Chains A and B, each alone.
Chain A
Amino acid sequence: MALLEAKGLYAGYGGMNILNGVDAVIDADEIGVIIGANGAGKSTLLKAIFGLLHVSQGTVKLAGKDITNMAPDKLVRAGMAFVPQEQNIFPSLSVEENLEMGAFVRRDDFSHLIEQIYGYFPDLAEKRNQPAGELSGGQRQMVAMGRALMIEPSLLLLDEPTAGLSPRYMNEIFERIIAINKTGVGVLMVEQNAKQALAIAHKGFVLANGRNRFTNTGEALLNDPEVAKSFLGG
Chain B
Amino acid sequence: MNELIFFFNKVIVAGSVIGSIYAMGAIGVTLVFAILRFAHFAHADLMTLGAFFSYILVVAFPELGGFVGLPTGFVVLPVAMVLTAIFAIGLDKTFYKPLRDKNVKPVVIVIASVGVTLMIQGVIRLFAGTTSRNFFSVDGVAGKDIFRIKLPFEAASRKIFITEPQILLFIFLILAVGLLHYFLTRTRLGKAMRAMSDNPDLARVSGINTNVVVWTTWIIAGGLAAAAGTLLSMDVILKPDLSFNILLPIFAAAIVGGVGQPYGAIAGGFVVGFAETLSVFNWAILLRPFRDSIPEWIELPSKIAFVPTEYKIIVPFVLLIAILVWKPTGIFKGKVL
Contact = CB atoms under 8 A, between A and B. Distances in A.
Contact of A104 (B197, B199, B207): B207
Given A72-B207, A73-B207, A151-B207, A93 B202 contact: no
Interface stretch (A3-11, A95-103, A189-197, A207-215): A95-103
B93 interface: no
Interface residues of B, number: 17
B202 A104 contact: no
A88 interface: yes
A114 to B, nearest CB: 14
Contacts of A89: 199, 202
B198 interface: yes
Instruction: Report whether over half of chain A's contact residues are helix, strand or loop; otherwise say mixed.
Output: loop
Given A90-B194, A93-B194, A102 B199 contact: no
A88 B207 contact: no
B195 A72 contact: no
B193 to A, nearest CB: 11
B201 A87 contact: yes
Contacts of B195: 90, 93, 97, 101
Residue among B192, B204, B205 with most chain A CB within 10 A = B205
Residue among B188, B191, B194, B202 with most chain A CB within 10 A = B202
Residue among A100, A101, A104, A151 with most chain B CB within 10 A = A101
Contacts of A52: 204-205
B131 interface: no
Interface residues of A, number: 23
A151 B209 CA distance: 15
B201 A84 contact: yes
Contacts of A90: 194-195, 198-199, 202-203
Contacts of B207: 72-73, 76-77, 104-105, 151
A92 B192 contact: no
Contacts of B203: 90, 101
A73 B202 CA distance: 11
Interface string B215-226: 000000000000
B208 interface: yes
B206 interface: yes
Interface string A179-199: 000000000000000000000
Contact of B202 (A50, A87, A92, A105): A87
Contacts of B204: 52, 72-73
Contact of B192 (A72, A91, A104): A104
Contacts of A104: 188, 192, 206-209
B188 A100 contact: yes
Interface in B39-83: none
A89 B202 CA distance: 7
Nearest to B192: A104
A54 to B, nearest CB: 13
Nearest to B204: A72
Interface string A117-161: 000000000000000000000000000000100010000000000
A73 B192 CA distance: 14
Contacts of B191: 93, 97, 100-101
A151 B208 CA distance: 12
Contacts of A147: 206
B198 A92 contact: yes
Contacts of A101: 191-192, 195, 203, 206, 208
Interface in A66-94: 72-73, 76-77, 82, 84, 87-93
A92 B195 CA distance: 8
Residue among B202, B204, B207, B209 with most chain A CB within 10 A = B207
Interface of B: 188, 191-192, 194-195, 197-199, 201-209
The 5 closest A-B pairs by CB, nearest first: A76-B207, A90-B198, A105-B207, A73-B207, A90-B195
Interface of A: 50, 52, 72-73, 76-77, 82, 84, 87-93, 97, 100-102, 104-105, 147, 151
Given A52-B204, A97-B191, 9 more contacts: A50-B205, A73-B209, A76-B207, A84-B201, A87-B199, A90-B199, A101-B191, A104-B209, A147-B206
